[in-house]
Structure 1
Amino acid sequence: MTDWDGAKYAEIATLQHDVGRRFVAELTPPAGARVVDAGCGEGFVTRLIAELPPVAAVVGFDPSPLMIARAREGRHPGVDFVEGDVTTFVADDPFDLAVSLNALHWVPDSVAALTRLHDAVRPGAGVVCQFVPEGERPSIEDVAFGVATGVSTGVGTGAEGRDAGGFAAFFEGFEPPHVHRTRGEWRDIAGAAGLEVDDLTERDLAWDFGSADAFRAWCALGFTAYTDRLPAERRDEFLARVTDAYGRVTGSDHVLRFLQLRLGAHRPR
């Protein structure tokens, strides 16, 4: 498990915070709701949820000790942060709503994750998750994997697919840390977890970091699963190759384009 630096994440997470505000604005928790936030990171979204008038209390959990340490620095009434893995999480008392924002596409066992969220809420309660799905356009994560391993990602004639950077030796046996699934696959997974799907909404979004340097700095934190395997002197080169290759996807060296799939479901009564 990669333990992201919560303090550094909070400094550069403008994109994640913007997406988080939109995510929370669309939530409709019942009055007096107890909410659980799976993969809460540094707690920004968890605290926003706690500020919704119907919400009485929120528990945020994340497998990263550094993220939870950062989350606990910003105390907020009615919010509790704990270390936990979504595939093993067990609620002491059932919640009225379970949410997860851009965390589950880092969890290989999607059925286990949604099953745990199903089990964490009372019958009739909602489960709302948002993540990056599989799409026709290669994602930034797809490109990173291609640059690292020399596996083609469909970007075209770039460095990825030919190991032009000579990184593959550092990634023997490496599995991609992300799991991007299609809308149909997520529907099937939710059903296998015992949930009834109410809505699956996909959006195509873009974020302009303003400069290639700012984009690389953002990637530097999110791609530690890759850079931790590289010698320190080659990490900047790797990140530059990723953003250069991805620039051929978007036509810009500082714009991230990403899909967001919002799954709305509930536990049957």
Structure 2
Amino acid sequence: MAGWDGERYAEVATLQHELGRRFADALTPVAGSGGRAARVVDAGCGDGVVTRMIAALPWVGDVLGFDPSPLMVEKAGAGNPGVSFEAGDVTTFVATSPFDLAVSLNALHWVPDSAAALAQLRDALRPGGRLVAQFVSEGARPSLEDVAQQVATGPAWGRYFSGVEAPHVHRTAEEWRALAAGAGLAVSGAEVSDLAWDFGSAEAFEAWCTVGFTAWTERLPAEAHGSFVREVTGEYASVVGSHRVLRFQQLRLEAGRG
């Protein structure tokens, strides 16, 4: 999200960084053309921590991370040798030279135009290049984002969100397969996992949500942010049975450019 604060995100991003470690560890090596190390692009790189994890893999060479939030890019910093960051929107991103691998972790469900995102990532790849993206998918259980949108459009807060569409999009694995195929990608996997994360306290969960709810709270008076977050987390507790646990679906989409 374009308004996310990189400093505040880094303070509460333990979950994202752990998911990033698992994501990086599960990547299958990709060879660059001509025997060189793989060139990688990370769409929605956030604070750059996961980008650096990927850059540290022995088969990876240069890595470019981009994010729509200038504050996130500022937090990511200059990067290590071979790692660079820039501001950018995945729906309009144009690679100056092709990549061997495109990755994205928990960013694409914040992009309403999924087809455009996949098409731009496909175009960023060389023939034979691969895409590995992981993000929140649609499931039988309401997601935290679903609950936030329900509260936002309810009687207490609806006046701030009149005519505003949900900032997130959750699709099923089958829908993502179809969109990827339509973008010219050959899907090799679309595996869904149901995960949980215990923040240890209701206060820690609220602090994490305060950063993640920017798409909603940026429309509210500053003094109302805390009340909105507490109402959402209270409603969400009735979904998962806890005031400190997040349960979420993760879809890992793997595809290649022919």
**Band the TM-score falls in, shorter-chain normalisation:** over 0.9
Q: Does 1:235 align with 2:239?
A: no
Instruction: Report if aligned partners of 2:187, 2:255 keep a CA contact under 8 Å in 1.
Output: yes
Give CA-to-partner distance per residue, 1:179-203, whole Å, 9 cap, x none: 0011110000000100000011100
CA distance in 1, matches of 2:161, 2:3: 19
Instruction: Report if aligned partners of 1:29, 1:97 keep a CA contact under 8 Å in 2.
Output: no
Question: What pairs up with 1:138-153 in 2 under 5 angstroms?
Answer: 138-150=142-154
CA-CA distance at 1:120 after TM superposition: 0.5
Matched pairs, number? 253
Q: Does 1:128 align with 2:118?
A: no
Match of 2:27 in 1: 27
Q: Given the superposition, is the C-alpha separation of residues 221 and 182 from structure 1 closer, same or farther in structure 2, using an over 3 Å criterion? A: same
Percent identity reads 64
> Unaligned regions of 5+ residues in structure 1, if any?
151-162
Name the amino acid aligned to 1:220.
T
CA distance in 1, matches of 2:71, 2:89: 14
CA distance in 2, matches of 1:108, 1:12: 25
Q: TM-score, normalised by structure 2?
A: 0.96
Instruction: Report if aligned partners of 1:4, 1:66 keep a CA contact under 8 Å in 2.
Output: yes
Give CA-to-partner distance per residue, 1:26-58, whole Å, 9 cap, x none: 112324100000110110111001100001110
Name the amino acid aligned to 1:213.
E
> Unaligned regions of 5+ residues in structure 2, if any?
32-36
Question: What pairs up with 1:39-118 in 2 under 5 angstroms?
Answer: 39-72=44-77, 75-118=79-122
Question: What pairs up with 1:161-176 in 2 under 5 angstroms?
Answer: 163=155, 166-176=156-166
Give CA-to-partner distance per residue, 1:214-261, whole Å, 9 cap, x none: 111100011112112222222211111100100011100000000000
Match of 2:180 in 1: 190
Match of 2:238 in 1: 248
CA distance in 2, matches of 1:203, 1:53: 27
CA distance in 1, matches of 2:129, 2:97: 13
RMSD: 1.0
Secondary structure in structure 1 of the residue aligned to 2:77: helix
CA distance in 2, matches of 1:230, 1:54: 46
Secondary structure in structure 2 of the residue aligned to 1:77: coil
CA-CA distance at 1:63 after TM superposition: 1.1
Secondary structure in structure 1 of the residue aligned to 2:71: helix
Match of 2:34 in 1: none
